[in-house]
Amino acid sequence: MVGSLKEFLAEYGNMLLTNVSRSQPLYSPDAEGAFEAAMRERLTKLLRTPFPKQAEAVLALTKGFKVRKHRGLFLTAEMGTGKTMMAISTSFLLCPPKSRTLIMCPGHLVQKWIREIKETIPDAHVVNLNRSGLGMLLELKSTKPTQREYYVLGKEQAKLHYARTSGAASFQHRDHITWTCPRCGSTLDSEPNVRSRRVRCERCKEPLWQADGNRFRRYSKAEYVKRHFPRGKAFNLFIADEVHQYKAGDTAQGQAFAIFCNAAKHTLCLTGTLMGGYSSGLFYLLWRTSPRTMSQIVDYHSIKAFSERYGVTEQVIKTSDKDGRASIGRSSRVTVRERPGISPQILTDLLLERSVFMRLEDVADNLPPFSEYVETVELPSDLAGEYGKFKDALEGEVKRALARGDRSLLGAMLQALLAYPDGARRGEKVLHPTTDDLIAEAPEIPCDVLPKEQRLIEIVQREKEAGRKVLVCLEHTGTRDLIPDLVERLEAAGLKTAALRAT
DNA sequence: GTCACTCATCGTTGCGTTGC
DNA sequence: GCAACGCAACGATGAGTGAC
């Protein structure tokens, strides 16, 4: 195990240096040639131009697809660097004027993608696929692109399918139920497990499940693309936003990602956190975006072998004496599990070749100055006293509950202790989540303006005098709802305030 | 019969989306 | 607005299977 970056570099630095110096980067900002010049010229046709560092990332990705003929590439960039802008610009350079690009993203980002495409690509035809029904896909199937077409789809809409119900015939007897195959009439041992699409009659292989017409009547868009669109030709480019959310092998989202990778000629994966600490998190993403390379390294069904090669595994051997009637024996059980940690070799073997990494610092020159600091404010003495008593009472109750194996108070304790300092004038009560018994109580503290609120008002007034607007984010906006109290005090101080709620 | 291995299942907390 | 659902991430356990 490696503790710090210093230790990491001490252990792996030489190996990394050797491998990196051996590899020839496909794109270098200091050695641009005719290809880059032509692409830079084409970038000027966009409605808004990428920042210089963003343009370099776009050129590198485009070159990876066009020159090195990669099928899938990764853009791993920190929040705020402009992943959306870079992906849209890449699609502009990569795809012909009559082309189709599919974007899968979290549902709340669909409108943002649509807006940014319209602001960036001249004469783009943008379609919101994140609606129920397959109408748009049916139309796509029978037509060819007439311009640069973009289809934006939320990951939930991509995966959601109809519900399944039993396809077996059931017979109610006086005191029990029996099931039979609807095709051959064979008697079944039990009701079929409809969660598995593989459940079939053992005798005639008839599927023993069917669509449940009494629930949501819908069809997964990914499944439709898989069944009705040509492999590798349905879309010129598939952009998977927040791709780390699709890393699992057999979840519905992971399957949808795999289907769209297969349906498109190229796949561009966007994320801020490509590696979540475990090597296995990259296994299916790499298999689905670079199947040819991965097939030379490890079998699709050998995620464990991949973890052993590129990650950290722990082997636990449990032994126990196990005498038989006429023998003396010892049995052991070995379990191998993956632990956090990734070999740097994964960078040189798989990632450097097909990734662009970008940090916020890289585009910092084009962004307004930014700094973060913590402003600490003391609790008023009466509130501090009550907070201490409340905390002690809660801790005692939680310890007693934990001794009984009841962990349900932990969340309540955390939220109550976080909320009381800001909501002191309302008091705080903690009830048991299941029994509703009163666990602990903190009194209301009458206070016109809390010190923290006063400090916030001073900061907002200072910004206002400098001609700047202020965005204030706070927690506890649901059951406790601290927003009205804060708005009231800001307005009393002569500040114009608007509450922006999620719904 | 033993062993190594895979697969399925359960339970937990928190978050977000969908359907009603 | 609420319930249901899906997902991540982890640990634990038991059933089933094939090689030896």
CATH number of the domain that residue A264 is part of: 3.40.50.10810
Average pLDDT over residues A155-160: 71
| Residue A253 covered by a domain | yes
| Within a domain: A332 | no
Helices (H), A328-467: 345-346, 381-403, 409-419, 451-465
Å from A409 (CA) to B13 (C1')? Answer: 12
Where does a domain end: A331, A362, A393? A362
In a domain, A500, yes or no: no
Question: Of A151, A186, A211, which closes a domain?
Answer: A211
pLDDT on residue A4: 45
Does residue A19 sit in the same domain as residue A139?
Answer: yes
Token pair of A124 as six digits: 């783009």
Q: Are residues A262 and A386 in the same domain?
A: no
pLDDT tens figures, A347-356: 788 888 888 8
Q: What is the pLDDT of residues A91-105, one digit of tens each?
A: 999 999 999 998 888
Question: Does residue A414 sit within a domain?
Answer: yes
A333 touches strand B (CB under 7 A): yes
Which chain C positions come under 7 Å from a protein C-beta?
1, 6-11, 13
C-alpha triplet A384, A411, A408: angle, nearest 5°: 125
Nearest residue to A298 (alpha-carbon basis) of A312, A315, A282:
A282
CA of A198 to C1' of B8 (A): 14
Give SS3 for A492: helix
How far apart (Å, rounded) are the C-alpha atoms in residues A283 and A301?
Answer: 10
At position A447, the amino acid (one-letter code) is C
On the question of pLDDT at A323 being above 50, the answer is no
DSSP string, A91-156: HHHHS-SSEEEEEEE-GGGHHHHHHHHHHHSTT-EEEE--SSSSHHHHHHHT---SSEEEEEEEHH
Give A21-77 as a DSSP string: HHS--S--TTS--HHHHHHHHHHTTSSSPPPHHHHHHHHHHHHHHHTS--SEEEEEE
Of A392, A455, A450, the C-alpha closest to A421 is A450
Would you say residue A170 lies in a domain? yes
Give yes or no: residues A255 and A395 share one domain: no
Element (H, E) at A6: helix A5-22
- Which of A403, A420, A442 lies at the terminal end of a domain, its last residue? A442
Mean pLDDT over A263-285 rounds to 79
Q: Is residue A39 part of a domain?
A: yes
pLDDT-based confidence at A247, cuts 50/70/90? confident
Segments forming the whole domain that contains residue A187? 164-211
d(CA A224, CA A140) in angstroms, rounded, equals: 12
Say yes or no: A27 and A129 in one domain.
yes
Which helix H or strand E contains A338, and what residues bound it? Answer: strand A330-342
User: Rounded CA gap, A51 and A48, in Å?
Assistant: 10
Residues having Cβ less than 7 A from any atom in strand C: A 159-160, 244-248, 251-254, 276-278, 281, 335, 337, 340, 503
Instruction: Kindly state whether residues A348 and A389 are assigned to the same domain.
Output: no
Question: Would A144 be classed as within a structural domain?
Answer: yes
- Residue A160 confidence class, pLDDT cut points 50, 70, 90: low
Closest-lying nucleotide for A215 based on CA to C1'? B19
Q: Are residues A141 and A206 in the same domain?
A: no
Q: How many domains does chain A have?
A: 4
Name the nucleotide with the smallest C1'–CA separation from A244. C8
A420 found inside a domain: yes
Helix (H) or strand (E) holding A333: strand A330-342
**What digits encode the pLDDT tens for the residues A118-156?**
999 998 998 887 776 677 777 888 889 999 999 888 777
A155 and A175 in a common domain: no
